[in-house]
Structure formats: structure tokens, C-alpha cells
Amino acid sequence: TSATFRSIYEKGSSTPSPYDGTDSFPRRHLGPTPKNVEEMLKDLKESDLDSFIAKVVPDNVLIRRSLKVQPLKGFTESEMLADLARIAEKNDLVKPLIGKGFYGTIIPPVILRNLLENPGWYTSYTPYQPEVSQGRLESLLNFQTVISDLTGLPVANASLLDESSAAAEAMILSFTSLKSKKPKYFVDSNIHEQTLAVLKSRAHTLNIEVVVADLTTDEGFATLQENKDQLCGAMVQYPATDGSIKTFKAYSRIAELVHSVKGLYAVASDLMALTLLHAPSKFGADIVFGSSQRFGVPLGYGGPHAAFFSVVESLQRKIPGRIVGVSKDRLGNNALRLALQTREQHIKRERATSNICTAQALLANIAANYVVYHGIEGLRNISKRIHGFTTLLANSINESSNYRVLNEKWFDTLSVDVGSADEFIAKALSKNFNVFKVNSSTIQLSLDETVTKDELTTLISLFTGLSEVQLPETLPSFYEEWTRQDDILTNEVLRTHRSETSMLRYLYNLQKKDISLADSMISLGSCTMKLNATVEMMPISWPKFANIHPFAPKDQVKGYTELIVELEKDLADITGFHSTTLQPNSGAQGEYTGLSVIAKYFESKGEAHRNIVLIPVSAHGTNPASAAMAGLKVVPIKCLKDGSLDLQDLETKASKHAKNLAAMMVTYPSTYGLFEPGIIDAINIIHNHGGQVYLDGANMNAQVGLTSPGDLGADVCHLNLHKTFAIPHGGGGPGVGPICVKEHLTPFLPSHPIISTTNQTEQSINPVVAAPFGSASILPISYAYIKMMGGSNLQYSSIIAILNANYMVAKLKNHYEILFTGGDDKYCGHEFIIDLRPFKKFGIEAIDVAKRLQDYGFHAPTMSFPIPGTLMVEPTESEYKEELDRFIDSMISIREEIRKVENGETDGAILHNSPHNLKDIISTSDAEWSQRGYTREEAAYPLPFLKEQKTWPTVSRVDDTYGDMNLLCTCPSVEEVAASQ
Amino acid sequence: TSATFRSIYEKGSSTPSPYDGTDSFPRRHLGPTPKNVEEMLKDLKESDLDSFIAKVVPDNVLIRRSLKVQPLKGFTESEMLADLARIAEKNDLVKPLIGKGFYGTIIPPVILRNLLENPGWYTSYTPYQPEVSQGRLESLLNFQTVISDLTGLPVANASLLDESSAAAEAMILSFTSLKSKKPKYFVDSNIHEQTLAVLKSRAHTLNIEVVVADLTTDEGFATLQENKDQLCGAMVQYPATDGSIKTFKAYSRIAELVHSVKGLYAVASDLMALTLLHAPSKFGADIVFGSSQRFGVPLGYGGPHAAFFSVVESLQRKIPGRIVGVSKDRLGNNALRLALQTREQHIKRERATSNICTAQALLANIAANYVVYHGIEGLRNISKRIHGFTTLLANSINESSNYRVLNEKWFDTLSVDVGSADEFIAKALSKNFNVFKVNSSTIQLSLDETVTKDELTTLISLFTGLSEVQLPETLPSFYEEWTRQDDILTNEVLRTHRSETSMLRYLYNLQKKDISLADSMISLGSCTMKLNATVEMMPISWPKFANIHPFAPKDQVKGYTELIVELEKDLADITGFHSTTLQPNSGAQGEYTGLSVIAKYFESKGEAHRNIVLIPVSAHGTNPASAAMAGLKVVPIKCLKDGSLDLQDLETKASKHAKNLAAMMVTYPSTYGLFEPGIIDAINIIHNHGGQVYLDGANMNAQVGLTSPGDLGADVCHLNLHKTFAIPHGGGGPGVGPICVKEHLTPFLPSHPIISTTNQTEQSINPVVAAPFGSASILPISYAYIKMMGGSNLQYSSIIAILNANYMVAKLKNHYEILFTGGDDKYCGHEFIIDLRPFKKFGIEAIDVAKRLQDYGFHAPTMSFPIPGTLMVEPTESEYKEELDRFIDSMISIREEIRKVENGETDGAILHNSPHNLKDIISTSDAEWSQRGYTREEAAYPLPFLKEQKTWPTVSRVDDTYGDMNLLCTCPSVEEVAASQ
Ligand SMILES: Cc1ncc(COP(=O)(O)O)c(C=O)c1O
Ligand SMILES: Cc1ncc(COP(=O)(O)O)c(C=O)c1O
Ligand SMILES: O=C([O-])O
């Protein structure tokens, strides 16, 4: 393999030909050069990559089935761009007036280029290390502020995965707030169909009964009254899916009723409409949610888009998702951070009530900056124009056509009885408009920011048949009784940046505060922060990927369909499975989906009672949380001292629960970074007891081309395309969490009510998100990654990732205890755990090392997951030897700093005071500095390379509680969920 | 006007309509909001913009002719992108095998996105302030290193404007090195036609006699020998324009002969070829030059591309253009800077020998980073494949076709006798290839990095008619006797960055060191550092603008033609002239062109003796230098105490030289930033004495829509599109310096030998650069700027620029003496001069203030131009009030620091030690700090806003000589040139 590997470099493919293009990708994606690889192997005392890998991956696991991914050699970068351009050309740019939660929008070019297309923004991680994340924390705080202002509710989170899953979170919050004892959840029938479908999916697994009724009518309201004893909450959409706005009373009396039984009232809304309309808080909403997509985020065939979610104050500790809060740093200065305190309360509840981990940070940041740039005046210019255009169109239809607008009031959407919907749709398409078919006689259409005067007159002609359209001088104004009067979006930052120069500098100033992959290695264990290559990223802003509505007819999206089907096939090949769904928007959502599919499978076999899921204690917090969301009962499985699964415990629990055994969920390589030796035995045990095996594919980056979940014998896995398959982390999202399944599970993969999914059948589970193919617009990233690496070279990502990790272990193991790699030939997988607990007795904690690493210009590795008091390091294959060495040198240097504490030479202040930001260096008095026992230079430049390149923390250490320290993301641990059940 | 101005904001145009799109541009381009404008007017005690402007611009000058630029309201941003996409669609993407100095290339995507498309790189200024420019200085030093290695000559500059004008610089250097006494310059006939045409143009004005001969043949060599007494130098192209490589002897004997008469031997070469071929130094070249375009810089219909230029050591003080050199900072650390010392020598020569100011920094940086990313192995992979493909094609033609390759050896280019060139060209086009027509029976074609295996076989089929092409397993190898053996490109930085992650971080690390417009205001007087808007920048990387060969047939470039003709028209409208040429690549080149056109005009009238040009002493250094290059004699004109032209002196000199008066060159508003009251009188004086008036349009940003060179009565002007018309400065280039002329000068605008220019006639002067339309690929920037502002709104750029400047004067004039604005209602134009000479007696110099401004996060304004000991500030219209105020506060704060010196409270160390970089703050000992008389905090955070946002200098003060201080760019002053004549 070393020779094959070398050939990647020499000719750009594993089958070298001097005729190949010279811009081959694998040698650019992989950090170490062949020479580096030789050096590293030598350090490991290994002769070649083959024999090295054979020692890492257990014999019965290592398969190295050649992947079928075409082209085997991989496309060159220019071939890839040409091929993606060919695919994009197969999508038609039809003006998307379909609406239904997805609207045309203009992303201001300054935001497009300097945020969405800027690796300084898109490659950063979730802001768990606040000292090097103040930029995006500020931007997310802006997002929260905007949401809170527009919805009128005081507490907003920093995004959820999409509007429909946010609806599910609202429903579940209502259900669990009443201790899951009131099973009925009322949903107004005038809500987006896809939202209702997702509600049904999520309600099903939790045994919530969704009741659909016309809540804004007297009849519907009467049903609500009749059921009030069983009611945990109600949901309306405002403006409704048909575009209508009802009477204030129609909305407010629902609130009164729901509140009278302590239920929660949730309102799905639209941010653009809310710039004009009364805030839902005004008529008593407890929860307001929706999509922030139309604030500058491209349609992208359905996503990713940031959902928003705001609540009344009493729910502030129950709100799902991440929340940014204002806090103080060590020097007493304001500092932002993820306010995990709230979530802690949340975790301590009897059950996990949400499994949200990765969310939509990058998209929330686009939306927030759209508002920063427009301000309230700018937004109202836009929303008034949208409403004015819509009203002119409605008036023309009502006054000058044979048709009739069905909704009495509107913001941007008109439902129109056109006699024959199909005929009208064809006529509209001939003018390049897509409208939505409601039923055989009704269409609806939504206007947006992008509609021009010419398009308006064309639309008027289309409905009225008039060839000359007269438009009035001024636009009709908004309904007076519905016009909100409160002062909103008055924060300084929302009033300042009106010129492009000012906006540009604001974006740069934020970006400069944060560590991203453009600065230095981010070696977060379990997170796989690899290269997000430029070629992979370029296509997502092409109009023919960006400006496509998710409900566009299939014959207009042949490009997307080709890409999706091919990617599903490639992922199935890589995972050794039969089929794939790309719908889930995150790993955790993939987990939920996979477990739901398993549950549905058992249901179809008449084994609906199977509700036990075995999960090792080492599992990531989303595993038990997702199980809870899927209505399953978690039984924990122990791990042995050496980090491996306790197979005996597994056998015991599996046989004890055999009758009700639904599944085992297990991560491979394990969350300890180990190639579990007993994985195949474990899988057999589960199968022998009638269970299904769910493999958490977060660590897939160690498997590709070496083994696979399917080859191991599992039944289903999820993948984090934002880990293994090169989608950037975006500062906390987006993500894509596809699941791949064996053939017997294929019929149960999620469907969609409007656009059928690839494997949709009668037996399919309901969708988990609003868009049929989830976050479609970022799929070209993974597609390009896979296609440029090629079937023959993909394995090198895993091989080099494993080599990099073990090289680091070899260099660090004389300085630190590396867990589970005892013995000379015991290797870790693609990540490893540094044990810092031994230093606790000297007063040095994991957090001190993590923070001190910032002084060395590095983002901390994963802290205290999966084991408290440790750091887990995952270098990935994209890091090059020089950077690994800088990190190694930094860790060794820190070890020497600790040694001085051990030796009693110092009190460790340099560690405890870390990180040292510039304010500390510059503004702290000489007097205080002279007391510290170390110099400014030792604080700031502990190694020489830092004088040449260093990204500075912008605040000093933010005061975190130990509780926060123990969390990887916002998800409860296995034991906590198990204990609470 | 204030009301009209406000309407820009309210509805996005000066004729507000609620139907207009909401993404209007003027309100994004202009910094101050209407509210700000009101505040600023109030500070100036003015009631509205109209009456304010009427006080600034003299009555007889202020015309406010409405501009005809369509659309009057301006396109919205999305309309603009759609319109440019429409235009781009009219260009055909035909595979460009035309060669002739322009080749297909692949810009590595990581460089495309993070350098060419990154405002952190493209908006920075020429690195005259080295402390905040170390990033691009390092990159330019890399460029020089690469050029020096590849050409084999020790000294290289940091780019010239293009290959053909570099040839002219080589010729002029040869001529002036022998004190302009040997008039004959020999040029091998096998050189690019456009290079020869430019040589002729430049030779003409300097009375150099260009002799064309087949220097590599015995006959040609004999001619050279015969003329050796009159010879100042000779030039060959290697490989030659027909693709051939001659014998070593053929090249080296020219060197011997030329050297025997102390002439210089210049070689035009190709960097890609030089990765394989012997360096020209090996056969005695004194100068090697060419284009670095094919190192990753898009074809862009001809430019901008960076020329390279290297020389033997003895010429190091004579080399034209900017040179980066390694120096030391105040703390003794290495620091890079522009090595102006060399240029000083250059200036002190009897005549200016070059007028190069703006060059091609951004493009040189792309080329340098292309090499950083590929390294020598990568480059040789590329060049060997190019040569191998070419050889396979040549062999097929010679062995299997009826045609014959005419050149015996080749790198990438074959000349082929095909019987009928036209027929073959049509055949090639049917397969989507453009080849070059040499004559009726001969074509030639050049292969490049982008040619694929499929294209190679198609080409072979095209020539041979074979339907099945067999290719050998390995590619033919390069000529052994021509293969260079020396170790090149071995510098560490050229060996390190092979992975995309590593390259990304290198680019970011460099960028972070520099101040660009993405950081803070760069208020450089005379440089107009305004917004370079994203929408303006986006189209230049679209393939249908980027990948077009400048010699593509006109019927394939209808898009470019439309854009060029329309831009020429709009610029003529704005300047009040009849026609425009876009050919010149910089302002200085525009000056040369304009003067040449004037000279040619007089020649055509039989008045060739007119050779006197009057230039005020306040003129920018390029003015006299260009005059010298155009063979004209400079006579200086005095200025009065109040900064205005001494009209009496002008009248005296004009009448004294009436017989030989060719022209006056004058900048308007003057380089002092004043609307010269006597401008119209001055123009009349010149006309009365038979001269032409050349208006230097560098300050056009104060004129647009208010007056114009044409309205003033001038005959010709140049524009700096990189100042007034939004092309970014790119860290020192590119630029575009069009000239606009009255009708009588139109027939003399430059031609092109291969592709005819818009106004080409029999009387046209020869071209000034290689490409018919100069730097065509960046013209969409200015086009978009003009079209988005619209005819009605363009004036607001000038109005707000003037308002911003005068607002700053109002705030600063109680603290500093502002030159030439005495009296309450005396306003400056769009820039103003702060006099720092009064502080000299306290030991504070202009440079101390300039450097101290870096501690406040600002780039210094223009220093000591046009008056030594001053700073000239030009805020432009794009700066917003908050930023102006930060700058004002910083200047006032510095004034207080100076006051402490005046009062004897301090010795001014805080100023003298500035700027304070982090190494100084952190690594300088406490002991030394305690001696300084000021604290670290006072040094680094003199104002509170700096704690939130500050771009740090990365080195401390670089030791500059006073001589450097007096220079704006690299150009000699009027007096110096005049004195030397
Ligand atoms: C092992 C494991 N499983 C699941 C997840 C959840 O994935 P996501 O954040 O995409 O929801 C993670 C995320 O880090 C993980 O590490
Ligand atoms: C007044 C004036 N004239 C001419 C020039 C030369 O322009 P360029 O640098 O484009 O050659 C400049 C450049 O700063 C200038 O300020
Ligand atoms: O995002 C997490 O890796 O938990």
C-alpha cells in the first residue's frame, strides 16, 4: 500500500498514468506527503502502511473490499467542477412561487462572499471554547435577539434543524411539560403539510395523539374545548399555509383555552411577515418557531436552513437547542458563551426531551447578518413591497379575472380557485413560474423579495389575460389592524452597518476573533475536523443548486436527482448496505430516524412490543436521547477497563431483554477511539436475541475502505457527512446525517408528503424534516469529496487518519498517559484519549490544559468526552506533519509546565490563568504581572513558532461550571437517560 | 440635492419607485446615511448638499451636466449580476490553443477563493507601510525568488505591467545604460508580434531604432555584427514565438557580440518552459522577462497578468519597477520592505528611465502562490506533460498526416504547414479549438496545463484524420541537451505547502498580517481607496470572462465587445470626451499613451517639433516621467502659496515655448486636493499657444457628475479605474489607465497588430501593451460600478467624497494646520493635507505620526506627497461617519501626544517607537518598558475602541531613509526630471 499511496502523489491516482490531469485531489486532501509517511512509519517502527493497518484493525474486521465508487481514480479538481456544472445544468431555474416555508431571497453579496464562501466562517467548530469563538457567538446572539424581537418572546435559541422538526420540538416540549400525561396535541389544519407529517412521525414514537382541526373556526375551536382535559397543547400557523391571516380573537381564544389547562400554545410563523404583523406573543403564544431561510439563505432544494424557536420566560430552561448567553471572563469583562446551565436543568429532567446536537449555526449567522445589513427599515422596505405586490395581484385577480382569491387577508400568499389547477400550472410554467397545486381546482403562490415589477405584471396578465397592466403609483399598504406598533430591532449593532464597507468590516472583525481550520488544527475527537476543500464548496453557491425550491416538480430537478441517487448509492457501497436516505439533517436526527425505521420494521412484523435498546455507557449522549425520542427504553451496557465492550454484560442484558429487545446502538470504532475487538461477537449476540444492530457512524472516518457497518453485520447506521464526508462544521452546523440500511429495512425509510423520496413505499415512516432530501444544497460537498478521492483512494483518508493519530500517540506517550493503548503494538484508531486525571492532585484539570492550548494557538481537543478529565484528539488525515508536530510540541511544553507544578517549582498560575488574551497582557498592571511568577512572554509565546503565527483568544477564561465541563454537546448521557426512565 | 440624495436610501434610486428592487447599490456604496449627511452638513454649517457643493466647486467649473449613463437609476445588484451573466453568455468558451504569450492554466481553487476572491488580499494598498504589509511583501518576495531561480538571474522585481511593456523596459534600459548614445536595438524576428509592436511604439517616442532580423541565423547574426557600433542591445525570444528552440550557440554568440560592445542582451522567456529548459543566464542573458500568466492567472481576454523582469547583478540599481527587499526593524528583527534605495539611484540618473508606478502585485501573488502550492515537482509534472503531449502531437503530424511541423524543437508550441490555414482553423473550431493563423498556409498551436488526454487524441485525429489514436504508455521525455540540471525552487516555503489545508493556512497567515479595506479606512490621498463591492468583483472569476484568449476571433467575444464599447462610451460621457481607449494598464501608462497620441497628432499636422510639456511642480512623479518616456521635454510651472497654479508663470513659459509647445499636463482637482480656480484660464493659455491640454484624471473622483475634463476644455485625460472606478488596488496593482480624448485625437488612439481596437485607424499609434484591450478581465468591475450607480447617482460619489473630506477638515482644523483651506468657507476638494512640519522643531516628523497611526489600527495616509512633511488624507465616499470619527479621534489623540512633547512633558518616545508590534509589547523586558515613560497600554490601546478591534503591525518600525519618505511611489519628481534634462 505504501507504493500505491505514493502513486497518489506522483500521478494523482492509484493507477498512475502520465495522461491524467495534474490537478488530482487526494494528494491535496491528505496532509502528509509520501516522505512524511515514511518518516512517521519509521517512528512507529512499521515497514509499510499495509502491515501497520493490519495491526490496527482486527483481522476479522479488516476487509478492504474494494469500493465501487466511480471513477476509481477520482475526478481531478477541474473534471469535478465540469461534472458538477453538467449536473447543475440539468436543474431548471424556474421562478419559485411555491412558498410553503421556502421563499426566494437575495443573499447580500457581501455576506455571500465573506461569510458563506469564507473558510474563516464555515470551517469553525461549535463555539464550545468561547475564548476563541466570540465572533460567531456574537453573531448567534444577534440571531437570538432578532428572533426574540420579531416573535415578541424573551428567550430564543441559536437555531434548530428546520421548521418542521422545530414544530416537533414544540409539540414534545408541550407534551413533556405536562409530564407526558396529556396525550392530545391539537394542530390547526391550516399548517404546512410537511410540518404535519413530521409532527405525526415524532408523535407516533412518543405515543402523542395529534388531532388536526380547523382551530380558528368555531367548529374547530369547539373540538378543542371538548378535548381540553387531555390536551397538552395546540399549534397554529400564522400566517397560515394557505396564506390567510384570521381574526385576532381566533388566535387569542386558543391561547386562553390552552392556558386554562396549563398547556402550551405554539405558533408557526414567518419572520418576514413578522416585520409588519403583530408578534404572536400578543395573542398569547408560548412558543413561536419557523424558518429563517428567507432572511438571505438560498433555497438550495430544501436546506440547510436555520429554524428559529423562541419561548416565554417560564420555558427558558426547557427550550431545546443551543443558547448563547452573556457572561464574564476571568478579568471581569463581558464574554459570550453557550449557556449550558439551562441545558443542565434540562438534562436533569426525568427524560431527555430533545436530542438536538448539531444545529444550523452557519445559516443562522447568514440570517442574523441579513438583518444586521438591512435593519428594520430595510426589512420593512422588503416586506411592504412583498405585501404590496401580493395585494395588487390579489386585487387584479378578484377584479379582472374569472378566478377568485380564497383567502381574505394575506401577507405574501394567495390561494386561488383557478378551475383547473393543472392547466393553470402549465400556463404559469410557460412563463417560467412554479406555483403550488393545492387540489384539482386550487393553486397557491407566494411572492418574495426577488419578484420584479415585470414579473408582477406578467403574473397579473397570467391571471387576468390583460395584455396591458396598469400599476398604481404607490403600493397598497398593510392592514392597519394587523400592523405591529412596537419598536423592534433597535439594538446598536442592528442600526449601524448599512454600507457594504461597514458590513464587510463587521464580518471580518467577527471572523478574526475565532479559530477556524484556516488558522490551525482543530483536533476535536469524535468531530473529524478535516479539510473542507474549495472545489467541494464552490458549487453550493451556483444558482442552479442554490435557487431551486424543494417542491419543484421532479422533471425540473434532474440534476439534483442524479446527484442524490448517485450519492445514496456511493454511501451504501461505502457502508456495505443496501440503501440510503439523505433526509436527516444531523447525526442525532439520523439516529432518531434509524431507530424509528427499526421500530416500524418490528411493527410490520407484529413485534411492536420490542422497545429495549442496549447502549454502551461510553456512547455519545445523542444515542440515548434519540432512543428516548423514538420511544425506546435504554439499557446501558458496561465497558471493560481496556475500553472495550463488556460482552458478558451484553449477553446478560440481551438475553434478559430478549423478548422486548429492539436494538443495540454502538459506535465503531468506539467512542474511545478503539477498533472494538468484540464488535462482531456483539452483533451476533444481538441478532441471536432478535434485535437489530444500529451502528453510530460518527467514527466512520476510520472505516472507509477498510471495513464497513454492513460488512460487520449491522443493520443500519447513520453517517455524519459533516465529519467523514467533508461538509464543514459551519461553527455548529449545518450537518447531514443520512442513514444506510440493509435491504429488509429499506421499505421503511422516510417518505415525504409532497415530493416522493427515493425509497418511498406504503410502509415508509413519516418524514423527519420538511424537505424531502433534507439539506440538499450541501450534498454536492460530500459528492465531490467522494468522487474526487475515487473508489481506490478513499481508503487512504482512513489509513492516514489512523497513521496521524498513532504518530501523535507515539510522540506523546512518553509524556502523557494515553488511554487504552497500553503495550507496544497496541494502536489507537483515528483518535486517542489523553488522560489528565493524574494531574488533578496537583490542582491541574483538563480544562487548564485545554485553555492553555489556546495560548499555543490551538483549539482544544474534545474535553471530558467520553471520559471526564481527559482530552480526546482526532487529527484527521488532512493535517500535515508540520502541524502535528507543532501540536505535539505544544502538548509537551504544557507537560513541562505541569511538571513544574508537580515539582513544586510553581503553583501552576500560568495554566490556571490561561488563556491569556491581549487585554490581560497589555492592560493588566505591571504590579500584578510581577506577582504571577511568569512573564508575559512565557504566557504568550511559550514556543518560538508563536511569534510568527498565532490566533489570539479575545477574552480570558470564561467561568464555566464543572457541569458544563462534562458535556460534549447538549445531550444527556446514557446513564442519565437510563436512570430517569 | 439633499432630498434627491435621501431618496437613494429610501427607494434605491434618485427617482424613487416602490416597484424598484430593494437591493439597490448606491446606498451600499456610499458610507454616510442621510442622517449622517445631515449631521455633517450641520457641522459644516451648511444647509444642504447643493449649496455646499456650490461653494466647493468654482462657478465656472460646476456644470452638473446630467450624465447619460444608462440606466439612470442604476441597476440593482441582482439586475447587475443578471445583466453581466447575459453579457458573459455572449462570449464563447473555445479551447484557447492560440498561445502567443497567453495560455490556459488552472488557478488552484484554494488560491482562487482565498486570494483572488478575498478582499483581505485584493483591497490592500501598495506595501509602502511595511509594518502592516508583511504578508504581501513576503508573497512578492516569493515571486522574486521564483523568477530569479527560473531565469537564473540574481535580481528580479515584483512585477511589471505585461510582457510587451516589459520588453520595452528592457529595450529602454539597454538604451539608457549606454547613455542613449547607441540608437540601434536589435530584435529577433521570431518574437511575438504584439511585443514587436509595443517596442516600436516605445522606440518611436525615444528615437530608438528598432532593427528586426533573424538573429539566430548566420545572416541575421551578420547584420548584428555589421551594426555593432551603433548597438545598445539585442532581444530574442526563447522559446521563440513559433515555438522553436534554437541551438545553444545561436543564443550564446549573440550574448558575446552584444557584450563586446557593452550592450545588454535581453531574453523574452516562458516560466513554464524554464522549469525544464536551461536558464537564459546560461547563454549570457543580462535581462530575462516575460509573463507569469500561465502560473495560475486566468487568461481574462488579455489581462491583467504580471510580467516578470530579472537582471544581472550589475543592473540591480537600474531595474524598473518595485523590488521587495529584506531589512530589519527597530527591534532588530527581519522585516521586508520595498527596497526604494535602488529606485533612488534610478531617479538620480539624468533622465527618468521608467514611469512604472502601479504594477501587477495581485497577479504576481497568484503566480507566486501557484509555485508555493506546486513546488518544483508539481511544476515539472505539469511542464513535462505539456511537452510530452506536444511531442506526441508533433510526431503524429509528421508521421501520420500530410502536414509538417515547421519548428524542429519545441516546448509547447508547434507551427504547422496545413496548406490552407483558414480551412484548418474552421476544422479546428468545429472541434472547439482555437489555433493561431500565422499566414495563409501556416497555423500554430500551443498546448497547456488544461489539455486533457481526450483533447490530445482529438487534436491528433484532427491533423491525421485517424479515427483511432494509439497513445504510448509513457510520454516522450524532454530534450536531454536542453534539460536544466541546477537545483531550483529549493527555498523552504516552496517545499512546504503541498496540502490544501497547509496552503489555506499559509494564505490566511499572510493575509492576517496586512491592513486592507476589510480592516479599516485607508485614507491615502491621491489613491481613492473606495469600496470594491462584491457584486463588482464576482464576475471576474466567471469562466466566460476568465477563460477567453485575447486573440480569440471577434465573433466569439461579443460579450466582451459589448462591455468594452459600452464602458468606453460611458467613460467618454463622464469625462466629456469623444472616445476612449481601455488599453493602458495603469495611470502612468495612460499618461504615456496620451502624450504619444498628442505627439502623433502634431506629427500628422507636420508639427513634430512640438516637444515641450509644461507640468506644475505639484504634479505627481509619473507625469514628468511619462513625458520623458514620450520623448518630451519637461518645463516646470510654479504654484502659488495658496496651492493654486501660478498662471503668470504658466503664461510666461507657454509664450516662451509657444513654438515648440506640445502640451500642459495638469491634475484636477490639483494634487493639493483643490479645485484649481484658474483651471479654465490655464487651459485657454495653452490652447492660445497651440498646445494640447492633458488632464491627469487621478483625482476624477471629485469631478464625476459635477464637471469633467471635457467640459473644462481639456483635450485628453487618463483615468485610474483603480481609483475612481472601483477596481481594487490589489496590494499594488492591477490597474487600468484608459485615456479619453476629444474627437481630433481619436484617430491616433492605440491600435493592435492582431485584434483591431475600437478606434483603430491607419494613423493609430502602436499599442502600449500586449493585449488589444489591456486588462480586460477587470473591466466588469468598473462597468458594474458605473451601471449600478447609474447616471443620476454617480455624482453622489463625488459629492459625498467631498463632504467626507470637508467634515474631517472641520473636525481636525482646530488641532492641525490643514493646508490651503484657510478662511471659514474655504473648502478642500475630496482630499486634504495635514501639515506636520510645525512639529519638526520638537523632533516629531510626519513619519512618526504615520507610524503612530498604525497603533490606532489605521494605515497611514499618503506621506510627504505632494509636500514633504505632510499627510494627505482622502476618505472617499465609501467611508461611513463612525469610521471617519475613529480616524479623527485618533488624529486628535496623537495631537495630544505631540502636545506633551511641545510642553516638555515627554520626549515623544511613544511616537518615535511606533508602531508597537506584539513582539515589542510582549518580549521587550519589563526593565526596558519601565524606562520608556509610557505604558504598554498607552502604546497599544490609546483609545478604547482599539480593545474591540485592532489590526496589529507585525514588525516594528522599519528603518527608512528620508529619501524614501519623500516618495509616493517609485517615480521621480518634476524638478528632478526637469533638472536632469
Ligand atoms: C459518536 C457520535 N454520535 C452522534 C453524534 C451526533 O451527531 P450530530 O451532532 O450531527 O447530531 C456525534 C456528534 O459529535 C457523535 O460524536
Ligand atoms: C496624480 C496621479 N497621477 C498618476 C498616477 C499614476 O497612476 P498609476 O499608479 O496607475 O500608474 C497617480 C497614482 O497614484 C496619481 O496619484
Ligand atoms: O457536536 C458534537 O460533537 O457533540
- CA dist B25 and B789 (Å) reads 6
Q: How confident is the model at residue B447 (pLDDT cuts 50, 70, 90)?
A: very high
C-alpha cell at B184: 540601434
Cβ distance B519 to A505 less than 8 Å, yes or no, reads yes
d(CA A438, nearest CA chain B) in Å: 29
Within 8 A of A78 by CB-CB distance, chain B residues are 106, 450
- CA dist B62 and B65 (Å) reads 9
B764 pLDDT above the threshold of 70: yes
Residue listed under C-alpha cell 474631517: B808
B201: CA distance to ligand 2 center in Å? 21
Mean pLDDT to the nearest integer, A774-792: 97
Write the DSSP symbol of residue B621: T
d(CA A381, nearest CA chain B) in Å: 7
Mean pLDDT to the nearest integer, B625-638: 93
Q: One-letter amino acid identity for A781? A: I
- CA dist B344 and B342 (Å) reads 5
**Residues A62 and B434 sit within 8 Å (Cβ to Cβ):** no
Cβ distance A502 to B883 less than 8 Å, yes or no, reads yes
Write the DSSP symbol of residue A132: G
Ligand nearest to the CA of B615: 2
Residue B78 φ/ψ region, left for φ over 0, alpha for ψ in the -120 to 50 degree band, beta for the rest: alpha
B52 pLDDT above the threshold of 90: yes
- CA dist A544 and A109 (Å) reads 17
A775: CA distance to ligand 3 center in Å? 18
Cβ distance A31 to B882 less than 8 Å, yes or no, reads no
d(CA A794, nearest CA chain B) in Å: 16
Burial of A909 from C-beta contacts in 10 A (0-12 / 13-18 / 19+)? middle
Ligand nearest to the CA of A591: 1
Residue with the smallest CA separation from ligand 2 atom 15 is: B698
Nearest to B287 by CA among B305, B307, B312, B308: B312
Question: What is the per-residue pLDDT across A222-278, written as a single tens digit (0 to 9) for each?
Answer: 999 999 999 999 999 999 999 999 999 999 999 999 999 999 999 999 999 999 999
Please give the pLDDT value at position A249: 97
Number of Cβ within 10 Å of residue B47's Cβ equals 11
A2 pLDDT above the threshold of 60: no
Question: What is the per-residue pLDDT across B188-205, written as a single tens digit (0 to 9) for each?
Answer: 999 999 999 999 999 999
Please give the pLDDT value at position A961: 57
Within 8 A of B947 by CB-CB distance, chain A residues are 919, 923
B555 pLDDT above the threshold of 80: yes
Residue listed under C-alpha cell 482646530: B814
pTM value is 0.96
Ligand 1 pocket member A720 (CB < 6 A): yes
Nearest to A538 by CA among A25, A75, A77, A120: A77
Please give the pLDDT value at position A508: 98
C-alpha cell at A116: 458563506
Q: Which of B19, B452, B878 sits opposite A453 (nearest CB)?
A: B19
Q: How confident is the model at residue A981 (pLDDT cuts 50, 70, 90)?
A: low
Cβ distance B471 to A19 less than 8 Å, yes or no, reads yes
Within 8 A of A104 by CB-CB distance, chain B residues are none
Q: How confident is the model at residue B64 (pLDDT cuts 50, 70, 90)?
A: confident
Start-to-end C-alpha separation, chain B:
50
Please give the pLDDT value at position B823: 61
Q: How confident is the model at residue A353 (pLDDT cuts 50, 70, 90)?
A: confident
**Residues B464 and B405 sit within 8 Å (Cβ to Cβ):** no
**Residues A34 and A6 sit within 8 Å (Cβ to Cβ):** yes
d(CA A599, nearest CA chain B) in Å: 42
Within 8 A of A518 by CB-CB distance, chain B residues are 114, 504-505, 508
C-alpha cell at B81: 449580476
Please give the pLDDT value at position A328: 85
Question: What is the per-residue pLDDT across A808-865, written as a single tens digit (0 to 9) for each?
Answer: 999 999 999 999 986 656 899 999 999 999 999 999 999 999 999 999 999 999 998 8
- Using DSSP, state whether B616 is helix, strand or coil: strand
C-alpha cell at B403: 502536414
Q: One-letter amino acid identity for B540? A: I
- Give, for B271, the enclosing helix (H) or strand (E): helix B271-274
- CA dist A443 and A434 (Å) reads 10
Instruction: Report the sign of the C-alpha dihedral through residues B927, B930, B933, B937, in that order.
Output: positive
Which strand ranges, in their side-by-side order, compose the sheet holding B404-405? B404-405, B413-417, B442-446, B436-437
Q: What is the largest CA-CA distance in chain A?
A: 91
Question: What is the per-residue pLDDT across A52-102, written as a single tens digit (0 to 9) for each?
Answer: 999 999 999 998 778 999 999 999 999 999 999 999 999 999 999 999 999
Please give the pLDDT value at position B962: 28
Number of Cβ within 10 Å of residue A966's Cβ equals 16
Q: Which of B500, B517, B531, B788 to mutate to test the interface with A (most CBs of A within 10 A)?
A: B500
- CA dist B833 and B809 (Å) reads 9
Residues 6 or more apart whose Cβ sits within 8 Å of residue B789: B25, B26, B29, B69, B74, B796, B797
Cβ distance B537 to A21 less than 8 Å, yes or no, reads no
Residue with the smallest CA separation from ligand 3 atom 4 is: A969
Mean pLDDT to the nearest integer, A452-468: 97
C-alpha cell at B666: 495638469
Question: What is the per-residue pLDDT across A541-559, written as a single tens digit (0 to 9) for each?
Answer: 999 999 999 999 999 999 9
Question: What is the per-residue pLDDT across A753-770, written as a single tens digit (0 to 9) for each?
Answer: 999 999 999 999 999 999
Ligand 2 pocket member B355 (CB < 6 A): no
SS (H, E, C) B72-125: CCCCCHHHHHHHHHHHHHCECCCEECCCCCCCCCCCCHHHHHHHHCCHHHHCCC
Burial of B784 from C-beta contacts in 10 A (0-12 / 13-18 / 19+)? buried
d(CA B12, nearest CA chain A) in Å: 10
Q: How confident is the model at residue A339 (pLDDT cuts 50, 70, 90)?
A: confident
Mean pLDDT to the nearest integer, B627-650: 93
User: Percent of chain B beyond pLDDT 70?
Assistant: 94
Ligand 1 pocket member A354 (CB < 6 A): no
Burial of A90 from C-beta contacts in 10 A (0-12 / 13-18 / 19+)? middle
Number of Cβ within 10 Å of residue B465's Cβ equals 10
- Find the residue in B nearest to A11 (Cα): B381
Nearest to B692 by CA among B597, B571, B551, B575: B597
CA B316 to chain centre: 22
User: What are the Cα distances from residue B554, in Å, to A23, A207, B429, B756, B758?
Assistant: 31, 71, 14, 9, 11
Please give the pLDDT value at position B978: 64
- Beta pairing, strands B692-697 & B716-719: parallel
A527: CA distance to ligand 3 center in Å? 6
Phi, psi of A294 (to 5 degrees): -75, 0
Instruction: Report the sign of the C-alpha dihedral through residues A702, A708, A712, A713, in that order.
Output: positive
Q: Which of A33, A385, A935 sits opposite B498 (nearest CB)?
A: A33
SS (H, E, C) A240-254: CCCCCCCCHHHHHHH
